A and B are shown apart, each in its own frame.
Chain A
Amino acid sequence: MGYGTLIPNPGELRKKSWMMVVRPEIKFIFADVFKFDGPVTVETSREEVPKWDSLQHIALVTAIEQQFGLSLTLDEMVEIRSVKDICNVLDRHGV
Chain B
Amino acid sequence: MLARTSPSLDGLIEAVMENAALCINERTLLQGVDWSRVRPDKVADMLTRLAADGVRAPMWLLKSLLVAGHSLPISENPALDPSLHALNSLNSLLRRGGVSENGMDALVEDLIARENIDPEIVVAGVRQLAALQMGSLAARLALSHWRTAPQILRSVSDDVTRLLESLPEARLRVASFSTTHSFIADLAHAFAAVGFRAAMTQAEYGQALAELMKPGEQERDALLVLLDPEGLHAPDWRRETAKSHELLLQRIDLFSGAIEHYAGQGRGPVLINTVPVTIDPTMGLLDSYHPDGAAHGVQLINQRLAEIARSNNQVILIDASRAFARLEPRQWVDPKLWYYGRLPYSANATRALAVAFSGAYRTLKKGTAKVLALDMDNTLWGGIFGEDGVGQLVCDDEFPGNAFKAFQHECLRLRSQGMLLTVLSKNNPDAIDAFKDHPGMLLKQDDFVASRINWEPKPNNVRQMAEELNLGLDSFVFLDDSPHERAAMRRMCPEVIVPEMPDDPAARPLWLRALAVTWPVRLTDEDLRRSDMYAAERHRNVVRERAVSFDDYLSDLEQTLVIQKVGPASVARAAQMHLRTNQFNLTTERYDDAAITGMMKDDRCVVVLGRALDKFGDHGLVICATARVDGEQAVIQSLLMSCRVIGRMVEQTFLGELLRSLAGRGARHVKGAYIPTKKNGLVKDFYQGAGFTHLGSEGQREIWGWDLTDGRPLPGSNLITIRWDTGP
**Roughly how many angstroms separate A45 CA and B180 CA in the complex, as a whole number?**
26
**Roughly how many angstroms separate A66 CA and B343 CA in the complex, as a whole number?**
17
Question: Which of B153, B154, B155, B340 touches A77 (beta carbons < 8 Å)?
Answer: B340
User: How far, in Å, is A25 (CB) from chain B's closest CB?
Assistant: 8
User: Which residue of chain A lies nearest to B153 when distances are taken between CB atoms in the complex?
Assistant: A32
User: How far, in Å, is B84 (CB) from chain A's closest CB?
Assistant: 23
**Chain B positions within 8 Å of A58 at CB level:** 181-182, 337, 340-341, 343
User: In this assembly, does B241 line the interface, its C-beta being within 8 Å of a C-beta of chain A?
Assistant: no
Once the chains bind, are A66 and B150 in contact (CB under 8 Å)?
A: yes
Once the chains bind, are A74 and B336 in contact (CB under 8 Å)?
A: yes
User: How far, in Å, is A10 (CB) from chain B's closest CB?
Assistant: 15
Once the chains bind, are B154 and A55 in contact (CB under 8 Å)?
A: no
**Roughly how many angstroms separate A71 CA and B335 CA in the complex, as a whole number?**
11
User: How far, in Å, is A89 (CB) from chain B's closest CB?
Assistant: 13
Once the chains bind, are B154 and A65 in contact (CB under 8 Å)?
A: no
User: In this assembly, does B60 line the interface, its C-beta being within 8 Å of a C-beta of chain A?
Assistant: no
Interface string of B145-185 (1 = CB under 8 A from A): 00000110111010000000000000000000001011001
Query: Using a CB-CB cutoff of 8 Å, which residues 45-67 of chain A contact chain B?
Result: 54-55, 58-59, 61-63, 65-67
Once the chains bind, are B182 and A32 in contact (CB under 8 Å)?
A: no
**Chain A positions within 8 Å of B151 at CB level:** 63, 66-67
Q: Most chain-B Cβ atoms within 10 A of its Cβ — which of A32, A55, A58, A72?
A: A58
User: In this assembly, does B237 line the interface, its C-beta being within 8 Å of a C-beta of chain A?
Assistant: no
User: In this assembly, does A36 line the interface, its C-beta being within 8 Å of a C-beta of chain B?
Assistant: no
User: How far, in Å, is B179 (CB) from chain A's closest CB?
Assistant: 8
User: In this assembly, does B306 line the interface, its C-beta being within 8 Å of a C-beta of chain A?
Assistant: no
**Roughly how many angstroms separate A73 CA and B335 CA in the complex, as a whole number?**
9
User: Which residue of chain B lies nearest to A78 when distances are taken between CB atoms in the complex?
Assistant: B340
The bracket for how many chain A residues form the interface is: 20 to 34
**Roughly how many angstroms separate A59 CA and B343 CA in the complex, as a whole number?**
11
User: In this assembly, does B347 line the interface, its C-beta being within 8 Å of a C-beta of chain A?
Assistant: yes
User: How far, in Å, is B118 (CB) from chain A's closest CB?
Assistant: 15
Once the chains bind, are B339 and A32 in contact (CB under 8 Å)?
A: no
**Chain A positions within 8 Å of B337 at CB level:** 58, 61-62
Once the chains bind, are A32 and B154 in contact (CB under 8 Å)?
A: yes
Interface string of A59-95 (1 = CB under 8 A from B): 1011101110001111001100000000000000000
**Roughly how many angstroms separate A85 CA and B157 CA in the complex, as a whole number?**
26
Query: Using a CB-CB cutoff of 8 Å, which residues 339-362 of chain B contact chain A?
Result: 339-341, 343, 347
Question: Which of A28, A29, A59, A66 touches B185 (beta carbons < 8 Å)?
Answer: A59
Check A72/B336 contact, CB under 8 A, given A28-B155, A32-B157, A55-B341.
yes
**Chain A positions within 8 Å of B179 at CB level:** 55
Q: Most chain-A Cβ atoms within 10 A of its Cβ — which of B151, B157, B335, B343?
A: B151
Once the chains bind, are A65 and B181 in contact (CB under 8 Å)?
A: no
**Chain B positions within 8 Å of A59 at CB level:** 181-182, 185
**Chain B positions within 8 Å of A78 at CB level:** 340
**Chain A positions within 8 Å of B343 at CB level:** 58
Check A54/B185 contact, CB under 8 A, given A65-B347, A66-B347.
no
User: How far, in Å, is A52 (CB) from chain B's closest CB?
Assistant: 13
**Chain B positions within 8 Å of A66 at CB level:** 150-151, 347
Question: Which of B153, B154, B335, B347 touches A62 (beta carbons < 8 Å)?
Answer: B347
User: Which residue of chain B lies nearest to A68 when distances are taken between CB atoms in the complex?
Assistant: B151
User: How far, in Å, is B190 (CB) from chain A's closest CB?
Assistant: 15
User: How far, in Å, is B475 (CB) from chain A's closest CB?
Assistant: 37
User: How far, in Å, is A61 (CB) from chain B's closest CB?
Assistant: 8
**Roughly how many angstroms separate A72 CA and B337 CA in the complex, as a whole number?**
10
Once the chains bind, are A28 and B154 in contact (CB under 8 Å)?
A: yes
Interface string of B184-210 (1 = CB under 8 A from A): 010000000000000000000000000
User: How far, in Å, is B253 (CB) from chain A's closest CB?
Assistant: 33
**Chain B positions within 8 Å of A31 at CB level:** 154, 157
**Roughly how many angstroms separate A4 CA and B150 CA in the complex, as a whole number?**
31
**Roughly how many angstroms separate A63 CA and B336 CA in the complex, as a whole number?**
15
**Chain B positions within 8 Å of A72 at CB level:** 336
**Roughly how many angstroms separate A62 CA and B179 CA in the complex, as a whole number?**
15
Check A55/B347 contact, CB under 8 A, given A29-B154, A72-B336.
no
User: How far, in Å, is B342 (CB) from chain A's closest CB?
Assistant: 10
**Roughly how many angstroms separate A91 CA and B282 CA in the complex, as a whole number?**
38
User: Which residue of chain A lies nearest to B580 when distances are taken between CB atoms in the complex?
Assistant: A54
**Roughly how many angstroms separate A54 CA and B181 CA in the complex, as a whole number?**
11
User: Which residue of chain A lies nearest to B149 when distances are taken between CB atoms in the complex?
Assistant: A66
**Roughly how many angstroms separate A59 CA and B340 CA in the complex, as a whole number?**
12
Interface string of A27-39 (1 = CB under 8 A from B): 0110110000000
User: Which residue of chain A lies nearest to B331 when distances are taken between CB atoms in the complex?
Assistant: A71
Check A74/B347 contact, CB under 8 A, given A58-B181, A59-B182, A62-B182.
no
Once the chains bind, are A55 and B181 in contact (CB under 8 Å)?
A: yes
**Roughly how many angstroms separate A65 CA and B596 CA in the complex, as a whole number?**
41
**Roughly how many angstroms separate A54 CA and B580 CA in the complex, as a whole number?**
11
**Chain A positions within 8 Å of B185 at CB level:** 59
Once the chains bind, are A74 and B341 in contact (CB under 8 Å)?
A: no
User: How far, in Å, is A16 (CB) from chain B's closest CB?
Assistant: 19
**Roughly how many angstroms separate A18 CA and B154 CA in the complex, as a whole number?**
22
**Chain B positions within 8 Å of A28 at CB level:** 154-155
**Chain A positions within 8 Å of B335 at CB level:** 74
Query: Using a CB-CB cutoff of 8 Å, which residues 122-154 of chain B contact chain A?
Result: 150-151, 153-154
User: How far, in Å, is B305 (CB) from chain A's closest CB?
Assistant: 28
User: Which residue of chain B lies nearest to A35 when distances are taken between CB atoms in the complex?
Assistant: B157
Q: Most chain-B Cβ atoms within 10 A of its Cβ — which of A61, A62, A77?
A: A62
**Roughly how many angstroms separate A56 CA and B181 CA in the complex, as a whole number?**
9
Interface string of B11-37 (1 = CB under 8 A from A): 000000000000000000000000000
Q: Most chain-A Cβ atoms within 10 A of its Cβ — which of B154, B179, B337?
A: B154
**Chain A positions within 8 Å of B154 at CB level:** 28-29, 31-32, 63
**Roughly how many angstroms separate A78 CA and B340 CA in the complex, as a whole number?**
9
**Roughly how many angstroms separate A32 CA and B335 CA in the complex, as a whole number?**
25
User: How far, in Å, is B273 (CB) from chain A's closest CB?
Assistant: 20
Once the chains bind, are A54 and B341 in contact (CB under 8 Å)?
A: yes
User: Which residue of chain B lies nearest to A55 when distances are taken between CB atoms in the complex?
Assistant: B181
**Roughly how many angstroms separate A13 CA and B67 CA in the complex, as a whole number?**
30
**Roughly how many angstroms separate A28 CA and B152 CA in the complex, as a whole number?**
10
**Chain A positions within 8 Å of B157 at CB level:** 31-32
User: Which residue of chain A lies nearest to B181 when distances are taken between CB atoms in the complex?
Assistant: A55
User: How far, in Å, is B349 (CB) from chain A's closest CB?
Assistant: 12
Question: Which of B153, B155, B182, B339 touches A74 (beta carbons < 8 Å)?
Answer: B339
Once the chains bind, are A73 and B181 in contact (CB under 8 Å)?
A: no
**Roughly how many angstroms separate A24 CA and B151 CA in the complex, as a whole number?**
13
**Chain A positions within 8 Å of B340 at CB level:** 58, 74, 77-78
A interface residues (Cβ-Cβ under 8 A, vs B): 28-29, 31-32, 54-55, 58-59, 61-63, 65-67, 71-74, 77-78
A sample of 5 cross-chain residue pairs with beta-carbon separation below 8 angstroms, ordered by A number, consists of A58-B181, A61-B337, A72-B336, A73-B336, A78-B340
Kindly list the 3 A-B residue pairs having the minimum CB-CB distance in the complex, ordered from nearest: A62-B347, A74-B336, A32-B154
Additional A-B contact list (11), CB under 8 Å, known A61-B337, A66-B347 = A31-B154, A32-B153, A58-B337, A58-B340, A59-B181, A59-B185, A62-B182, A65-B347, A66-B151, A72-B336, A74-B335
